Structure 1
Amino acid sequence: MASLLPLFFLLLHQPLFSTANVHKLNLLRSELLSQPTPLNDTPPTVFFEVTKPIEVPKTKPCSQLILQHDFAYTYGQAPVFANYTPPSHCPSQTFSTIVLEWKATCRGRQFDRIFGVWLGGVEILRSCTAEPRPNGIVWTVEKDITRYYSLLKSNQTLAVYLGNLIDKTYTGIYHVNISIHFYPPEEKLNSFEQKLDNLASGYHSWADLILPISRNLPLNDGLWFEVQNSTDTELKEFKIPQNAYRAVLEVYVSFHENDEFWYSNLDNEYIAANNLSGTPGNGPFREVVVSLDGEVVGAVWPFTVIFTGGINPLLWRPITAIGSFDLPTYDIEITPFLGKILDGESHKFGFNVTNALNVWYIDANLHLWLDKQSSKTEGKLLKHSSLPLVVSLVSDFKGLNGTFLTRTSRSVSSTGWVKSSYGNITTRSIQDFYYSNSMVLGNDGNMQVVNQKIIFNDSVHIKLPSSYVHSLTSHKTFPFYMYTDYLEQGNGTYLLITNVDLGFIEKKSGLGFSNSSLRNLQSAEGNMVVKNNLVASGLGSTQQVYAYDGGKFCYFRNISSSNYTILYDKVGSKCNKKSLSNLDFGLSRVWPFGARISGLQFT
């Protein structure tokens, strides 16, 4: 559930309500947690999220343990802190890749928990814990944090917030180690410092300064902002150096409690007509809107992350849902607006969520590139367009059965120039969004089908003084399908069926940048027999195909599991069409995505 309110435990034991959707399954979460009796001689289960390995040089890393802590009853308490110092003991003091490693174990009975890791107030990881078994689980998250290089060069305070609850029933304590691995470059010419000196544009190097756009300590919570509803705008004041020539806002987003399953939330008119008070509403569309001094500068239409206890926890054991262990972040180009904030004065970023219910956790990092040859740059916003959100809602329902179609679109574009010692550089940023959600309710509201697609395109075009143009375009598609049904079996027994398909598809291309493509597709099926509101039996299975093609580096994985058991696991790393076609065959044979999600075929 990755939510932290104690009230939720009370809700788990209330009777099921008569409208079926993912929220009905949510009421059974406590029953799906592992029972406290351990199995003899059973080793801990390894949980994992399928993703490509991090590309690291063939050098020996210099490793540093930053934090070792046991997260017991930590809900509503201050984050856990540790001092970070740069790795002065390393033979090399320049690094081409830096990797954060989170390793955790847990035993007993416990819910999934959202957590965050911050360095100097800058968030570097948003993740969710796995739900333990009586004999224990172990999982590892590795994240490339090289983009935070400038932050890692000086002493910082590491903060970790993982709000856990411990009592006689929920006994799982999360034992955590956090390490950072520093990889020296294979050749001196590849060192980070020389990249900075040789590349003036700021589009092939990491930022010189990163400002936290998060809440200030002290806190008895995470450093993220909490957006409670659609009228709630969270603000953070900041001031930037006057010699900045590029700025990118990296946004972290997660959704919880009444909006954990926002993509399945019901229309308010339907809820009112059927007297379904307490059912999460506001429809199935959400977007994070980012403003600068009150003006919209970009948006995030988030990927449908399902936490390890989400929808049906049996689906995510041991293969967790896409993005659950390393939630995606979203970059918004702020460079066109630098002319408005280079005045040495304070300015404000704002975060708002359209149609939000409680609660959304949002913060951001402002990455800044500084002109080392000048104490002051100047700029001007030439053109900015933020068209109003276009929304279409068509509903047709009678009683508890009906159909609902929601479509939305938005476009944000901006152009501005910045003059520095590198010359006059003009940047144009464009974001285009398209959304469609088709929802069907049947079987007197006990059956729900959600078929959703988010298209999230953004591009940045940079014109240098030499008239050479850099451009980088990202085309993202987030398809999602969910089917849940509740079938009466008699004698107080019923069958709950759950099917989930989801995908993260991205293609990056551009002039002056390397091209890459990612197709990460999952299909999961589960069922539970419930008697007298207690889970009598259940089965969950998951299949996944992951295919990344970076030109010189490729990674393919085709894997399937059923109730903790891996059925098959095929891995490849060669960049050739034969490998791709083999995985294409496996996907089409195992999961007929095309029949359920338009545009998700593996081509």
Structure 2
Amino acid sequence: MQRLKYQKPSLVPSSFSSMTLPTHMAKVQSLQTTPLLPIAHLKLSPQLSLNGKLPAEEGNLTAFSGFGLVGFRFSGAARQNQGLMGLFGLSRRTSQEKLNSFEQKLDNLASGYHPWADLILPISRNLPLSDGLWFEVQNSTDTELKEFKIPQNAYRAVLEVYVSFHENDEFWYSNLPNEYIAANNLSGTPGNGPFREFVVSLDGEVVGAVWPFTVIFTGGINPLLWRPITAIGSFDLPTYDIEITPFLGKILDGKSHKFGFNVTNALNVWYIDANLHLWLDKQSTKTEGKLFKHSSLPLVVSLVSDFKGLNGTFLTRTSRSVSSTGWVKSSYGNITTRSIQDFYYSNAMFLGKDGNMQIVNQKIIFNDSVHINLPSSYVHSLTSHKTFPLYLYTDFLGQGNGTYLLITNVDLGFIEKKSGLGFSNSSLRNLQSAEGNMVVKNNLVVSGLGSTQQVYRYDGGKFCYFRHVSSSNCTILYDKVGSKCNKKSLSNLDFVLSRLWPFGARMNFAGLRFT
């Protein structure tokens, strides 16, 4: 068989601590279109009647949304007050004139809040460059800055960020606590513990964060697991959106401002890039806004360690919350936006066999929501609940003469549910489970076997997609595709793969149950 370079996880077993194994540098550039928050298209329907009369004549206005039915009901006094505020025109106008004016306002609002941006500014290193446009974060104190300036007629802004981790932090979720490394004199072993956080600041103030999905590249942990089914995200790195709209009032002054990027507990190296999506008011040359509430609570970290020599257990838990509220006044009216991010993290790590066996059971919960109050008092909101579970088992068995057997189990998942007012709900469950073994001699894979199973299920209500595929020994064994939406929701997808794997049942360490 073809010999492959082996890319070892961060744990260096005591009996192989003198080994220097190459690290796979997968430089992946991903151009991914991320669906941004759309605002429902409101359109008045004057043809509807109530008791044989136009809705406006009865004091009722009924509007339809592309995502659902929205009803407005106003008394005569309320209509007059609304007219004085410009939503229905002057109160002396006829009902039909009021109707036409309101319809035009709604059409203007709808045309302004389309899901695509009018302008995208690259937030990357400045040209000319000889080694790429991405920023490189080398350690936990390294903050990369980007100066930018936006048009003064922007009324919405979303920062789409991209992160990719390599070298000493490629397997950050299995990195050991520094106290363990120091106590056992494991020099050269990647440390700083298993928690990482990407933080975004604007002019020195934290505006959002990303707790990234654990992408495993095609040479990672055991390269035989990822042929021909690669790990989730390895060829299509995920991007993450941070709502900047509440902060527009601080950067609409026509002056230059700075985004800052840093990674908590980082080791070299993290590649970082971003796009700033801007929505522009074509009816105005200048908008205005104000940030009137912002909260970025400090990171809460808990580490419980219990180890003796090279064996031990470690439990790491962290949480963070970031919220901001601000308004922007444009030709579409005064629109208030509130953004909330909530993060929860847990990592249970076990080391046995004098450090030659490692088990990692990790879960990241990443919730974010955006609430938009329109001039009509109608509220749009979109909430995303993400869960990134990971289970990793590695066992090194020495064979002598620089040779060892590596046994691995990996479960990982990307789970997301989206819901909100004015939007259709959707859910995505992308789950993988893999098991393999390989013999490594002088950093080369000389024999081995890997098997992987993946279940992908997307449910958008009207559009659905399902695929279940499994492979072993570089060969597809099973592949089923479906596109029907099942009324009965599947809340649990557990992998039962022992009958497919020719080298026996899974290890006696329970993997994640994806819930």
- TM-score norm. by structure 2 comes to 0.79
Kept after mapping to 2: 8 A contact 1:271/1:281? yes
Q: Secondary structure of 2:129's match?
A: coil
Structure 1: gaps of 5 or more residues: 1-8, 30-110, 117-124, 127-142, 148-188, 190-195
Q: Which residue of 2 aligns with 1:27?
A: 21
2:230 to 320, 327, 330: 320
The CA distance in 2 between the partners of 1:512 and 1:398, in whole Å, is 55
Kept after mapping to 2: 8 A contact 1:451/1:596? no
Kindly name which structure, 1 or 2, has the bigger radius of gyration based on alpha carbons. 2
Q: What aligned pairs does 1:398-437 form with structure 2 within 5 A after superposition?
A: 398-437=308-347
Q: Which residue of 2 aligns with 1:115?
A: 28
Distance 1:434 1:259, change over 3 A: same
Q: Which residue of 1 aligns with 2:243?
A: 333
Matched, 1:352 2:266: no
Kept after mapping to 2: 8 A contact 1:241/1:342? yes
Q: Post-superposition shift, 1:19?
A: 3.6
Kept after mapping to 2: 8 A contact 1:517/1:549? yes
Q: Post-superposition shift, 1:24?
A: 10
Q: Post-superposition shift, 1:221?
A: 1.1
Q: Which residue of 2 aligns with 1:281?
A: 191
Q: Post-superposition shift, 1:561?
A: 0.5
Q: What aligned pairs does 1:11-410 form with structure 2 within 5 A after superposition?
A: 18-19=13-14, 27=21, 113-116=26-29, 125=30, 144=33, 199-200=109-110, 202-410=112-320
Q: Which residue of 2 aligns with 1:464?
A: 374
The CA distance in 2 between the partners of 1:594 and 1:251, in whole Å, is 39
Kept after mapping to 1: 8 A contact 2:434/2:453? yes
Q: Secondary structure of 2:421's match?
A: coil
CA RMSD of aligned residues (A): 2.9
Q: Which residue of 2 aligns with 1:600?
A: 514
2:349 to 426, 431, 439: 439
Please tell me the residue identity of whatever aligns with 1:589.
Answer: V
Please tell me the residue identity of whatever aligns with 1:563.
Answer: N
Kept after mapping to 2: 8 A contact 1:594/1:600? no
Kept after mapping to 2: 8 A contact 1:20/1:447? no
Kept after mapping to 2: 8 A contact 1:202/1:246? no
The CA distance in 2 between the partners of 1:368 and 1:473, in whole Å, is 21
Distance 1:367 1:28, change over 3 A: closer
Distance 1:289 1:520, change over 3 A: same
The CA distance in 2 between the partners of 1:532 and 1:210, in whole Å, is 48
Q: Which residue of 2 aligns with 1:131?
A: none
Deviation beyond 6 Å, 4+ runs, structure 1: 23-26, 591-595
The CA distance in 1 between the partners of 2:387 and 2:194, in whole Å, is 17
Structure 2: gaps of 5 or more residues: 37-65, 67-105, 499-505
Q: Which residue of 1 aligns with 2:362?
A: 452
Matched, 1:589 2:496: yes
**Identical counterparts, % of pairs:** 84
Kept after mapping to 1: 8 A contact 2:407/2:438? yes
Q: Secondary structure of 1:465's match?
A: coil
Q: Post-superposition shift, 1:492?
A: 5.8
Q: Which residue of 2 aligns with 1:537?
A: 447
The CA distance in 2 between the partners of 1:198 and 1:216, in whole Å, is 37
The CA distance in 2 between the partners of 1:324 and 1:438, in whole Å, is 24
Q: Which residue of 2 aligns with 1:79?
A: none
Q: Secondary structure of 2:286's match?
A: coil
2:479 to 557, 562, 569: 569
Provide, for residues 140-198 of structure 1, a one-character-per-residue CA deviation record: whole Å limited to 9, x for no partner.
Answer: xxx55787xxxxxxxxxxxxxxxxxxxxxxxxxxxxxxxxxxxxxxxxx9xxxxxx976
Q: Post-superposition shift, 1:486?
A: 1.0
Q: Secondary structure of 1:426's match?
A: strand
Kept after mapping to 2: 8 A contact 1:479/1:597? no
The CA distance in 1 between the partners of 2:18 and 2:466, in whole Å, is 36
Distance 1:202 1:251, change over 3 A: farther
Please tell me the residue identity of whatever aligns with 1:273.
Answer: A
Distance 1:406 1:362, change over 3 A: same
Q: Secondary structure of 2:230's match?
A: coil
Please tell me the residue identity of whatever aligns with 2:423.
Answer: F
Q: Secondary structure of 2:180's match?
A: helix
Provide, for residues 62-99 of structure 1, a one-character-per-residue CA deviation record: whole Å limited to 9, x for no partner.
Answer: xxxxxxxxxxxxxxxxxxxxxxxxxxxxxxxxxxxxxx
Kept after mapping to 2: 8 A contact 1:25/1:312? no
Distance 1:211 1:230, change over 3 A: same
Please tell me the residue identity of whatever aligns with 1:115.
Answer: V
Kept after mapping to 2: 8 A contact 1:201/1:422? no
Q: What aligned pairs does 1:522-561 form with structure 2 within 5 A after superposition?
A: 522-531=432-441, 534-561=444-471
Kept after mapping to 1: 8 A contact 2:177/2:193? yes
Q: What aligned pairs does 1:493-508 form with structure 2 within 5 A after superposition?
A: 493-508=403-418
Please tell me the residue identity of whatever aligns with 1:365.
Answer: N
Please tell me the residue identity of whatever aligns with 1:208.
Answer: D
Q: Post-superposition shift, 1:576?
A: 1.5
Q: Secondary structure of 2:496's match?
A: helix
The CA distance in 1 between the partners of 2:235 and 2:467, in whole Å, is 17
Q: Secondary structure of 2:195's match?
A: coil
Kept after mapping to 1: 8 A contact 2:12/2:189? no
Distance 1:512 1:202, change over 3 A: farther
Q: Post-superposition shift, 1:594?
A: 13
Kept after mapping to 2: 8 A contact 1:199/1:205? no
